[in-house]
Amino acid sequence: MTKLEQATAADRRHGARPSVVAEYDAVVVGAGFGGVYAIHRLRQLGLNVIGLEAGADVGGTWYWNRYPGARCDVPSLFYSYTWSPELRQEWRWTEKYAAQPEILRYAQHVADRFDLRSLIRFETRVTSAEWDEASQRWTVRTDRGDRITAAYCVMATGNLSVPNKPDLPGLDRFRGAIYHTGQWPHDEVSFSKLRVAVIGTGSSGVQAIPLIAKAASRLTVFQRTPNYSVPARNAPLSDADVAAAEPVIAKYRESLETPEFGRVPSNAFEAPVPEKQVQWARYQQLWDQGGGGILTAFPNILTSEAVNDVACEFVRDKIRGIVKDKATADALSPKDYPLGVKRICIDTDYFATYNLPHVELVDLREEPLKTVTETGVETATRSFALDALVLATGYDAMTGALAAMDIRGGDGTSLKDAWADGPSTYLGLMVSGFPNLFVVTGPGSPSVIGNVIHACENHVEWITACLDTMRTKGLTRIEPERDAERSWMAHVADAASRTLYPKANSWYQGANIAGKPRVFMPYVGQGYRHRIAQIAQRDYEGFVMR
Ligand code: N01
């Protein structure tokens, strides 16, 4: 029996869990899609691995995000692991865009199918990780008193896992129920006959609002920034859909391409600006088709204002066509940033919800929120009596989960301090000064742009291939060169600056969190998968291994 198995058996016997003091080859923090796959691959390498997860189950973001309407914005056939042909054949998604319970079941199925649960310690939050140069090991501590050492530490802590709870005056006083979309209760929440308010109109708000409106007696939506949203046109999946996707997935698996929406293709900068009517017709086609395809309408949609402006006008025209009240339609129409440079929202009946007589939009730009009271919300001009308040206010994205732990490198420097002016990584995978610490989909990699499951797979496979190579060569320590990291981050910034991405106050650049440095975090340049594969082939160029 391994030490973990002994501890788990003891837990079962005593109904409580003793803390673990143990040595492993690798520790994986987080059991979302990145962490679960990392645990699987590391075990396949023959390493003694332990996973540590704050939630009571696998699933990561899909474990926590149980709000009404939560579903993925990438078609489920592609929002799946590609690494196991058997898994691909066994699992049958029911809808084009799977809802949260089905995605969670998928994550649970993978954990069971590959027998991974016994390697994961649930309800265990990592509080610190410290590199010891003398022993060449990480010491990881948890809120359960565990002290685990490992040669390698893989942070699969997710990019959207630390909820942003806004500092609204008076929020503590509110006597009704308060929910955050990113930490939704596991018991059913009923809004029936209740007066509910939603604050926030990003992807989570846009998904939750139509369903909350169906249940509530009155719904008030407090909007600070309107969002571009396109219809999902969700539908049941047919066998033909499944059969058509398989060759596409198999081809993706073999290629080194990253063809998903949100990326800037290599021909973006030379592409012509099509005539307005040509653009309009294409947007109409993609609107009818549903989903995020609009971002692939033209290669330069995320680089050319002339192209993007027409797409913005097209969506505004649609909003005016759906929302009957002119002032509401106008308030719902984004005007001051390009389409697609904040994650585009993909909805079911979002705009039409504002035609319901019991639903009201409050534009916080016109009517700022003054305070939350014991019984509701007061704006500069009105009071709203409420029974429940839903915060759809997003996340401290990309760096929040890493900053929440006390991670210290060899010289005692904390990652938080090292990133005081913004995150810095080499390839979004490693940080200089923090040897043998890998980040899955870290800042500086494409990560949240596009399909996150594929981004997780790509990183896990790169990391495990790297460890395999090191073992073959008898090496045990890897760290990026500071210069390689610097020039990579300069390239990440340059890639973003050549696009329209920096033109929005998005969470991509930390703009949603007060005091967070403004650094554009995801990599939006071309050929990322190809590039990191080449770096590996060139003997891990930019890394020092010994
Ligand atoms: O969070 P957000 P989200 N007062 O940050 C507002 C992924 N995701 O949870 O824009 C008033 O986008 C804030 O206003 P503003 C997806 O990648 C995917 O919705 O800062 N309002 C904004 O409207 C997504 O992008 C899926 O002015 C305040 C909203 O709250 C990411 O998660 C589903 C406020 C936050 O929007 C995050 O989405 C859900 C305040 N003090 C999420 N503070 C799918 O797969 C914040 N806001 C479909």
Could you state, in chain order, the average pLDDT of each consecutive group of 10 residues for the chain (546 residues)?
51 60 95 98 98 98 98 94 94 97 98 98 98 97 96 98 96 98 97 98 98 98 98 97 91 75 84 97 98 95 97 98 98 98 97 98 97 97 98 98 97 96 98 98 94 95 98 98 98 97 97 96 93 97 98
Establish whether residue 201 lines the binding site of ligand 1, counting it when its CB lies within 6 angstroms of any ligand atom.
yes
pLDDT, position 114: 98
Tokens of 444: 């500086």
Q: What amino acid occupies position 239?
A: D
Under 8 Å CB-to-CB from 350, ≥6 apart: which residues? Answer: 206, 207, 209, 210, 229
Q: Are the C-beta atoms of 477 and 545 separated by less than 8 Å?
A: yes
Rg of the Cα atoms in the chain: 24
The protein residue whose alpha carbon is closest to atom 10 in ligand 1 is 225
CB of residue 447 inside a 6 A radius of ligand 1: no
Q: Atom 5 of ligand 1 has which residue's CA nearest to it?
A: 394
Structure tokens at 17: 């869990």
Task: List the chain domain ranges.
Answer: 3-162+397-476
Ligand 1 atom closest to residue 206's alpha carbon, by position in its atom list: 19
Distance 339 CA to ligand 1 centre (A): 15
Of 195, 203, 188, 237, nearest to 219 by C-alpha is 195
The reported pLDDT for the residue numbered 13 is 46
At 251 the pLDDT is 87
DSSP label of 381: S
| CB contact at 8 A, 65 and 100 | yes
For ligand 1, atom 41, the nearest C-alpha belongs to 166
- In the sheet that holds 369-372, the strands lie side by side as 369-372, 376-379, 383-385
pTM of structure: 0.96
> Which ranges constitute the DSSP H helices of 271-414?
276-289, 305-322, 326-332, 350-353, 400-403
- What amino acid is encoded at 18 in this protein? P
Other C-beta atoms closer than 10 Å to the C-beta of 92 total: 9
Task: Determine if ligand 1 sits within 6 Å of the CB of residue 165.
Answer: no
Report the run of H or E that residue 376 belongs to, with start and end. strand 376-379
Q: By CB neighbour count within 10 A (0-12 exposed, 13-18 middle, 19+ buried), where does 26 fall?
A: buried
C-alpha 136 – ligand 1 centre gap (Å): 40
Give the closest residue to 315 by CA, choosing from 296, 329, 327.
329
What is the best residue among 66, 160, 168, 350 to mutate for testing ligand 1's pocket, by most ligand atoms within 8 Å of CB? 160
Model pLDDT, residue 215: 98
pLDDT at residue number 107: 98
For residue 507 and ligand 1, the question of a CB distance below 6 A is answered with yes
Task: Ligand 1 pocket test: pick from 393, 452, 508 the residue with the most ligand atoms within 8 Å of its Cβ.
Answer: 393
> Residue 393 C-alpha to ligand 1 middle, in angstroms?
5
Identity of residue 61: T
What does the pLDDT read at residue 14?
Answer: 42
Q: Which two tokens stand for residue 162?
A: 């630390």
Q: Is 208 in the pocket of ligand 1 (CB under 6 A)?
A: no
Residue 501, helix vs strand vs coil: helix
Instruction: Please give the pLDDT value at position 455.
Output: 95
Q: Whose CA is nearest to atom 12 of ligand 1?
A: 202
| Token pair recorded at residue 408 | 């210290």
Tokens of 131: 């590199």
- Rounded Cα distance, 386 and 401, in Å: 32
The helix/strand/coil state of 226 is coil
Does domain 3-162+397-476 correspond to CATH entry 2.30.30.90?
Answer: no
